[in-house]
């Protein structure tokens, strides 16, 4: 099982020459997701060779411009690229109206179904699942309705212990799926061979929690605990904790406290305010509380295998 | 008098890493205008050091995404930069609704007046003037309602011929404005000194015609003739004149024919289709018809002084 996150942009507010607004590309258990879509995201996708045709699901955390102003351009480009597969957009109520009106006025011809999943719940809810992955919302606390997203691999089937299985001539290939699903095998003489003898533990499902934008909200631990990877916004350093509180953002220290309390394995920081020239200060501050800290940067890939 | 055009983007359709959608920054007789605003324009403005505070008027030719998807982001950024001066947007009907709805949903707080001038006329009309510049629409022929724009300096006051003026002791400094305005001077003895003796011809007002997007439309000559600078879209080469006709775009040759028939001084080509790797072919084709051809390129500045 594997998970790879590509940072396409991780700066707050307005785009600048070398500071791109939020967007991330996540590959998890063979599924491909786009998370947030600030202005210029499609250019960043091309720059970092993210396959446009792989994206079937886009998750928008909230309707501040630096998280979605690039969405209409991306949808329009999908149309120009003759996309036919449906595209699912998950985001706050209003996103459908916003996109539809722009498609109408710009006469952007799209030959694919655009499926909007408008979110309103203030509780964590399952919003996507298939046989490989499930996605849940992480209700956050920001100036507008905001969700983070928890991406979790589905448990993999158990692994066959072929050497042991071959000792039992009665076990046929067509029995393998049942074994992978965890079932014991009953021989013709009535004896039961326990599944744990015939199979091995699969690798642990991986999970990624995306939390932006938000003020410090310790309760999110209930949703994100034990995640392998956590991205948590850190717009400010503790020197401006007052401003973080006022604007409902977080400091690097607060992001680290969330990571520690939630027992995640690694913390990625991002959404840096432009007032700070030296982003290494974010890592330094967070590391006073939590050890495994990574600074988001456009183009950076973070991979986890299990 | 002077005119300087900065190309911020000049490629058609979708943004790519080194191909930015249409936007131009025009300085003309001390006025500063933004023309079209494809996605990523604000980043290009920063890259090429276009002062955000200088822009008070934005002209949008039509509502295809590659000409305006960057507008909401730019307006939002003006808000973040605490703009207070009004911002005037000229564009097709619908642009107000498009921008208003996005400002509402994104809760972008702007403390300046946003004044929309929605255009519907199919005739050339005066849409802006002050004591320095006037701007007229150039009705174009595209798949959606489209205007180009003609930017023209107002005639400058005549220049004083100080050496001659000093020969007449009766002429006082407070008479200078009348002389600049072209009036003769009447001496106390009744004699008239002709204005042409006391002043010199001012430099000729400069003009810039922006024509994108459009199919080949020779009638625009009536509006743009004798312009000092013409930007005319050339999405295709003549090898795809069929496609130009179908999509209501132009070829390089057609742009050159317009330039020649309209007796402009220089032609700038742009809005290149991504099917062509070598944009020099556009210049080559146009030069078979018209001599002074410039290829638009992001960051290029074209200046004219008179």
Distances (CA, A) of A141 to A129, A217, A218: 25, 7, 10
Distances (CA, A) of A185 to A166, A172, A199, B2: 13, 11, 11, 88
Same domain, A132 and A270: yes
Distances (CA, A) of B52 to A17, A220, B27, B299: 14, 40, 13, 16
Cβ–Cβ gap A76/B97 under 8 Å:
no
Same domain, A194 and A277: no
Name every chain A residue with its beta carbon within 8 A of the beta carbon of B77. Answer: 13-14
Name every chain A residue with its beta carbon within 8 A of the beta carbon of B42. Answer: 14-15, 39
Same domain, B219 and B138: yes
pTM, rounded to two decimals: 0.91
Instruction: Give the C-alpha separation, B169 to B167, whole Å.
Output: 6
Among the partner residues A69, A102, A144, nearest to B98 by beta-carbon distance: A102
CATH of the domain at A115: 3.60.15.10
Same domain, B184 and B208: no
Q: How many C-beta atoms lie closer than 10 Å to residue B141's C-beta?
A: 15
- Tens-binned pLDDT, residue by residue, of chain A (306 aa): 689 999 999 999 888 888 999 999 999 999 999 999 999 999 999 999 999 999 999 999 999 999 999 999 999 999 999 999 999 999 999 999 999 999 999 888 899 999 999 999 999 999 999 999 999 999 999 999 999 999 999 988 899 999 999 999 999 999 999 999 999 999 999 999 999 999 999 988 999 999 999 999 999 999 999 999 999 999 999 999 999 999 999 999 999 999 999 999 999 999 999 999 999 999 999 999 999 999 999 999 999 987
Domain boundary among B142, B167, B200: B200
Same domain, B61 and B18: yes
- Give me the number of domains chain A comprises: 2
Cβ–Cβ gap B73/A15 under 8 Å:
yes
Same domain, A111 and A259: yes
Going by C-beta distance under 8 Å and a sequence separation of 6 or more, which residues neighbour residue A124?
A136, A137, A138, A139, A150, A222, A223
Domain boundary among B168, B200, B232: B200
Closest residue of chain B to A92, computed from CA coordinates? B105
Q: Is residue B42 within 8 Å of B81, Cβ to Cβ?
A: no
A66 among known catalytic residues: yes
Give B202-237 pLDDT, tens digit per residue.
Answer: 988 999 999 999 999 999 999 999 999 999 999 999
B93–chain A Cβ distance below 8 A for any pair: no
Domain boundary among B144, B167, B200: B200
Same domain, B194 and B289: no
Burial of B134 (0-12, 13-18, 19+ CB in 10 A): middle
Same domain, B38 and B126: yes
Radius of gyration of chain A, Cα coordinates, nearest whole angstrom: 22
Same domain, B217 and B274: yes
Question: A with B: how many residue pairs have Cβ under 8 Å apart?
Answer: 101
Same domain, B18 and B151: yes
Same domain, A103 and A196: no
ipTM score of complex: 0.89
**Catalytic residue selected from B66, B130, B163, B242:** B66
What are the binding residues of A? 62, 64, 66-67, 142, 213, 271
Residue A191: domain span: 159-200
Same domain, A30 and A173: no
């Amino acid at each position: 099982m594997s998970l790879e996150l590509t940072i396409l942009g991780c700066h707050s507010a307005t785009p600048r020459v070398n500071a791109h607004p939020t967007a991330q590309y996540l590959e998890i258990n063979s599924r491909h997701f786009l998370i947030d879509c600030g202005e210029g995201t499609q250019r960043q996708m091309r720059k970092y060779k993210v396959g446009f045709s792989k994206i079937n699901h886009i998750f928008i955390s909230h309707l501040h411009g630096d998280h979605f102003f690039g969405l209409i351009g991306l949808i329009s480009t999908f149309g120009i690229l003759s996309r036919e597969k449906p595209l699912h957009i998950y985001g706050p109520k209003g996103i459908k109206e916003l996109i539809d009106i722009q498609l109408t006025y710009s006469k952007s011809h799209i030959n694919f179904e655009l499926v909007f999943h408008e979110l309103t719940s203030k509780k964590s809810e399952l919003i996507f699942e298939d046989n490989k992955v499930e996605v849940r919302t992480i209700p956050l606390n920001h100036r507008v309705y905001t969700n983070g997203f928890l991406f979790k691999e589905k448990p993999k089937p158990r692994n066959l212990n072929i050497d042991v299985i071959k000792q039992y001539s009665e076990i046929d290939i067509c029995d393998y799926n049942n074994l992978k699903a965890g079932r014991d095998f009953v021989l013709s003489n009535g004896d039961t061979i326990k599944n744990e003898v015939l199979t091995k533990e699969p690798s642990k499902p991986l999970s990624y929690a995306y939390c932006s934008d938000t003020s410090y909200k310790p309760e999110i631990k209930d949703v994100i605990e034990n995640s392998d990877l956590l991205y948590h916004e850190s717009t400010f350093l503790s020197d401006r904790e007052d401003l973080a509180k006022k604007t409902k953002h977080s400091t690097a220290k607060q992001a680290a406290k969330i990571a520690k309390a939630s027992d995640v394995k690694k913390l990625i920081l991002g959404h840096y305010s432009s007032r700070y020239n030296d982003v290494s200060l974010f890592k330094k501050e967070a590391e006073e509380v939590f050890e495994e800290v990574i600074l988001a940067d456009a183009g950076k890939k973070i991979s986890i295998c299990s």
